[in-house]
Amino acid sequence: RRIAARWYGAKPEQVTPEQAGVISVIWFSSLAVIAALAGPITAMVALALQRIAARGEVQSHSRLSSLIRRMLLSWRWRRIRTIEVPVEKVVEKEVEKRVEVPVEIEKVVKEILYVP
CA distances from 65 to 70, 75, 97 (A): 9, 15, 69
**Mean per-residue pLDDT for 29-43?**
95
DSSP string over 41-57:
HHHHHHHHHHHHHHH-S
The predicted structure's pLDDT at residue 10? 84
- Of the listed ranges 38-42, 50-54, 77-81, the one predicted with least confidence: 77-81
The predicted structure's pLDDT at residue 79? 72
The predicted structure's pLDDT at residue 40? 94
Q: Is the confidence at residue 58, as pLDDT, over 70?
A: no
